[in-house]
Amino acid sequence: MATPSRHGPGNRPSNPGAAQGGSRDARVGEPLPQHGGRGRGIHPHSAALLRGLLPALLVYRVFRNEAKRTTKVLHGLLHVFALVIALVGLVAVFDYHRKKGYADLYSLHSWCGILVFVLYFVQWLVGFSFFLFPGAPFSLRSRYRPQHIFFGATIFLLSVGTALLGLKEALLFNLGDKYSAFEPEGVLANVLGLLLACFGGAVLYILTRADWKRPSQAEEQALSMDFKTLTEGDSPGSQ
């Protein structure tokens, strides 16, 4: 999370190595250019959640004709992976700030980042309780499913917005008044930001396009993962 130094604007520590951090969007680890080694780069924590969240979101589109239970388990495991790498990213950036003497959790970007992580963790816990943990009634899962989908897409869009906030924050920190002079670094970051926004829109389009959704099949109700279905073979509709 990009934050200013505790040393103040007039006494920022020279940090050429940190200036080679990754950008906050679709770069997946590519460094954002820094001219003359000034300022502070963008820490690669920023795309951690997006890297793991995207495959989990799209698994029902990519494998929409595969067995429901297999796809459901894969969906849950991918979200666990996303949570783990997001947590690693958070720990890494706090450790980075501590070593460099930067302030923590004062900016809108950092607040949004923590909010997104907490919401995502709660979303995973509730989703596990409803859809993977044995014992949840089928009728309850059916009622919650639209909210689960809505909050999943919302968290993804919030994560994209948080990444854009971090990108802008880092640019203002690094360039200051020179940002308005069309510095190459600023122009490149603006282009990357536009690409990230378009990327978020494309993912949302894939998630909402009806003919790419998993077909609703009555026989899939028998795959309900509650104790009664697994042990007795009864149809969830009989509950």
The pLDDT value recorded for residue 194 is 97
- Asked whether residue 103 carries a pLDDT value surpassing 80, the answer given is yes
**CA-CA distance, 94 to 73, in Å (whole number)?**
32
Which among 234, 237, 233 is positioned nearest to 218, based on CA atoms? 237
Query: Tokens in use for 77?
Result: 């495991």
Specify if 132 maps to a domain: yes
Of the two residues 34 and 84, the one the predictor is more confident about is 84
Specify if 41 maps to a domain: no
CATH classification of the domain holding 126: 1.20.120.1770
pTM, 2 dp: 0.71
Specify if 189 maps to a domain: yes
The pLDDT value recorded for residue 25 is 34
Which among 193, 182, 166 is positioned nearest to 21, based on CA atoms? 166
- Asked whether residue 74 carries a pLDDT value surpassing 60, the answer given is yes
**CA-CA distance, 83 to 49, in Å (whole number)?**
7
**CA-CA distance, 211 to 18, in Å (whole number)?**
45
Which alpha helices (H) appear in the chain, and where do they start and end?
A: 48-62, 68-100, 108-127, 138-175, 184-208, 227-232
Tell the residue number behind the tokens 């970051």, with chain if given. 189
Specify if 139 maps to a domain: yes
Taking residues 135-151, report their average pLDDT.
89
Alpha-carbon torsion, ordered 161, 93, 121, 118, to 10 deg: -60
Taking residues 65-80, report their average pLDDT.
90
**CA-CA distance, 74 to 96, in Å (whole number)?**
33
Specify if 20 maps to a domain: no
Residue 215 contacts by C-beta under 8 Å, 6 or more apart in sequence? 64, 65
Specify if 87 maps to a domain: yes
Task: Give 23-63 pLDDT, tens digit per residue.
Answer: 333 333 333 444 444 444 455 566 677 777 888 999 989 99
- Asked whether residue 224 carries a pLDDT value surpassing 70, the answer given is no
DSSP per-residue string spanning 92-105: HHHHHHHHHTB--S
Specify if 138 maps to a domain: yes
**CA-CA distance, 235 to 111, in Å (whole number)?**
45
Mean pLDDT of the chain: 76
**CA-CA distance, 188 to 9, in Å (whole number)?**
24
Alpha-carbon torsion, ordered 193, 201, 55, 210, to 10 deg: 180
Task: Give 155-206 pLDDT, tens digit per residue.
Answer: 999 999 999 999 998 888 888 889 999 999 999 999 999 999 999 999 999 9
**CA-CA distance, 109 to 173, in Å (whole number)?**
13
Which among 200, 196, 187, 45 is positioned nearest to 109, based on CA atoms? 45
The pLDDT value recorded for residue 31 is 39
Specify if 55 maps to a domain: yes
**CA-CA distance, 199 to 57, in Å (whole number)?**
14
What is the domain extent for residue 154?
Answer: 46-213
Q: In total, how many domains does the chain have?
A: 1
